[in-house]
Structure 1
Amino acid sequence: MGGVLKPVELEAYGLLLRPWEETDVDAALRGLSDPDFRRWNTAHAPDPDEAGARAFISSRTEGWERGTSASFAITEGGTVLGQLGVGAIDHTMRNARVSYWVLAEGRGRGVASHALEAATRWAFRDLGLHRLELGHAVGNDASCGVARRCAYTLEGVLRGAMIDTAGVPRDIHLHARLATDAR
């Protein structure tokens, strides 16, 4: 499988994961400018302004079109609560990387864990992937908890593998889940 990925919607745990839309600019801007997002993200993070939010949404659409990523707005009752991405999809090696962020009003309610579990099952079932990797900055205990709750095994620490938004090298925890792992 390669090429264009047909955008899909995923419903699970009272959430709807759907492709990002141009009308989601305000929610994307809130996420990209959130202090916790900025603290834990990489130098690749879009600028925390309207142009950055528009570029974020545009790049999510392009990922579907190229077949290299599938990015979802995590919604509840029509309100965007965050982002879930399955990126760096390699159909030959049957692997990808997952990422997520959740707005303040969605934190502490299992939104990230539920969205990650729904997207993980979809990626294994519908994309035929075998391995999903999840990396986060060491010290980001919330992301570590999401990974554990979704049965992503901690495989180790990658030293200096991430340059944060301030330009500082940081270590990351590497977690992974295989399609053959117990749920």
Structure 2
Amino acid sequence: MTTNLPDLRILSTARIRGHGLLLRPWDPDSEADAGAWLRGNTDPEFRRWNTPITPVTDRAGARESLRTRAERAREGAAATFAITDEDSGTVLGHIGMNDVRRFLASAAVGYWVLPEARGRGVATRALGLIADWGFTELGLHRMELDHVVGHEVSCRVAERCGFRYEGTMRGALFEEGRRDAFRDAHLHARLSTDPPPDIASGPASGSGAASGSGAALQHPGSVSGSGARSGSGAASGSGAALQHPGSVSGSGSASRPASASHPEPAQ
């Protein structure tokens, strides 16, 4: 028996609006889109947390990368959205479903935000939009994301959008700049049956406060720089604390990028 999902070719044409954002397909033939894709993929902070299978290093590579993703969207296997300002159309970042699994009615989400757009809740708003759309319009049952252990900002974005921490995956992602070594990742997921988070009423992602529909996520024994999570940026939620050791954080600044990764096919 197969899950009754709609024609997934809509992944190539869908446009999602809300929270001051418009999520629209990237255009491989647009010089502006190719330039934004190149900037996002070569940003040092993006590279710190993500090691793509096929790195994007120039405009030709950016256009080819976007063409590959557009083709996968037409096949109903993935979706690749530019996060844009709803009023100005300015590109702020990227969010996508990298692995749509029809039989399981599930998908994996990845995202990043351009440097000039960080600290404004862009990742939180975009993740909330694509999650709501995936559950209501696509009929998905489960959406998940993962990120490198120590990426505190991405943890907070996930929690804020109702993606609960489910565990640490050992050796799940490439080490920074390497494809012959691996590092651990946190797995977060949200089900269609989970209570929806109240994204609009809380603080922007990266502001130091995290809340969601489930348990608060705390990192005992974390190594931090100038801003430990136990200080002014303590996590809070409606349930008991869920603890998982081994996280390493930097300064906790809102300017750190929010990004989540999921292994993508070679391009």
TM-score bin (small chain) = over 0.9
The two structures have a TM-score, normalised by structure 2, of 0.66
> Is the Cα contact below 8 Å between 2:83 and 2:91 reproduced in 1?
yes
Give, in angstroms, the shift of residue 45 of structure 1. 4.9
Pair 1:45–1:80, CA change in 2 (3 A): farther
The runs of 4+ residues in structure 1 deviating greater than 4 Å are none
Q: Percent of pairs identical after alignment?
A: 48
The Cα RMSD (Å) is 1.4
Aligned to 2:223: none
The C-alpha deviation readout for 1:91-116, integer Å capped at 9, x for no partner, is 11011100100001111100000000
Of 105, 118, 123, 1:94 maps to 105
Of 2, 5, 9, 2:10 maps to 5
Give, in angstroms, the shift of residue 141 of structure 1. 1.1
The C-alpha deviation readout for 1:31-90, integer Å capped at 9, x for no partner, is 011011111113425322212211221122112111011110000111111000012101
Aligned length in residues: 183
Distance 1:63 1:108 in 2: 31
Aligned to 2:148: 137
- Structure 2: stretches of 5+ with no match in the other structure: 197-267
The equivalences for 1:13-92 within 5 A come to: 13-21=19-27, 22-23=29-30, 24-76=33-85, 77-92=88-103
Code of the residue aligned with 1:179 in structure 2: it is S
Give, in angstroms, the shift of residue 181 of structure 1. 0.3
> Is the Cα contact below 8 Å between 2:109 and 2:143 reproduced in 1?
yes
Code of the residue aligned with 2:17 in structure 1: it is E
Distance 2:153 2:95 in 1: 15
The equivalences for 1:114-153 within 5 A come to: 114-153=125-164
Pair 1:13–1:38, CA change in 2 (3 A): same
Distance 1:29 1:62 in 2: 19
Give, in angstroms, the shift of residue 179 of structure 1. 0.4
1:48 match: secondary structure: coil
Distance 2:182 2:58 in 1: 24
Pair 1:38–1:144, CA change in 2 (3 A): same
Code of the residue aligned with 1:170 in structure 2: it is R
Distance 2:58 2:175 in 1: 18
Give, in angstroms, the shift of residue 178 of structure 1. 0.2
Aligned to 1:169: 182
2:47 match: secondary structure: helix
Give, in angstroms, the shift of residue 131 of structure 1. 0.4
- Structure 1: stretches of 5+ with no match in the other structure: none
2:145 match: secondary structure: strand
> Is the Cα contact below 8 Å between 2:26 and 2:66 reproduced in 1?
yes
The two structures have a TM-score, normalised by structure 1, of 0.95
Higher helix share: 1
> Is the Cα contact below 8 Å between 2:95 and 2:111 reproduced in 1?
yes
